[in-house]
Amino acid sequence: MVANPVRPKDSAHVPRHIAIIMDGNGRWARRRALPRVAGHQQGIKPVRRTVEYCASRGVEFLTLFAFSSENWHRPPEEVSGLMALFFEALDRQVADLDKNGIRLQFIGDETQLSGSLKNAIHAAALRTAKNTRMTLVVAVAYGGRWDLAQAARKLARDAAAGRLDPESITEARLGSAMQTGRLPSVDLLIRTGGEKRLSNFLLWDLAYSELYFSDVLWPEMNDAELRKALEFYAKRQRRFGRTSDQVGKLNC
């Protein structure tokens, strides 16, 4: 991973890695007597605003939960609409992201995706691979438990083949086998829509994250709400198991 080469003067209070559960598209549409897909369409606009805002503040990594492994259980028409919308948005936005120095990466179970979508994902990642302003990670067909399971299978295969001593499996080794293994841990999780749960998102990486829950529905997400989330983060004392006094001494 290539870190952002320029960070603002107040970077100590800016999360290096932000992850967002973009919740509330369906409720936004229902309140307007619109089909759910209309909410997902409206939800594209705040994605662009959020990417621009985070990049301007010096955030190095932004991970967005676009489609979970459990979302496949939604009505078929909604799933097909979401996949089509994702493909269309990717086709329209990748050139602009590339122009603005944003690197695109994707995590999730690619075996669940169509061939055309996989090709588009690979092409977008390749096109933006050398960009360094910010890394945008899109989680598609992703689940935290799935990620842990696939990492365990990978290590089990290595152990069965004699390439790995099971006793050498540490937290770091397991973490590196996960799809998020090359990403830094999440500093700040933002969830919109008023719900207060993780929904099987980045379970390993959220161990010591600060959690910000917003009542704003995702299609209505704006800079003001993002600013509130970053202000919340700036006020937190991140102790990682230490006491407040210990952290104070470390920061002196």
4, 10, 71, 223: the catalytic one is 71
Q: Give 14's strand partners.
A: none
* 139/201 Cα distance (integer angstroms): 9
Sign of torsion, CA 114 115 119 120?
A: negative
In angstroms, rounded to a whole number, what is the distance separating the alpha carbons of residues 35 and 105? 30
Mind spelling out the 3-state secondary structure of 36-103?
Answer: HHHHHHHCHHHHHHHHHHHHHHCCCEEEEEEEEHHHHHCCHHHHHHHHHHHHHHHHHHHHHHHHCCEE
Of the candidates 4, 10, 23, 96, the residue annotated as catalytic is: 23
Task: Write the single-letter amino acid at 89.
Answer: A
Q: What is the DSSP string of 152-180?
A: HHHHHHHHHTTSS-GGG--HHHHHHTSTT
Contact status, residue 39 vs residue 28, Cβ threshold 8 Å:
yes
What span, in angstroms and rounded, lies between the C-alpha atoms of 157 and 75? Answer: 36
CA distance 213 to 189: 8
- Closest CA relative to residue 133, chosen from 54, 45, 227, 21: 54
Catalytic annotation present for 23: yes
**CA-CA distance, 222 to 218, in Å (whole number)?**
9
Q: Which residues does the annotation mark as catalytic?
A: 23, 71
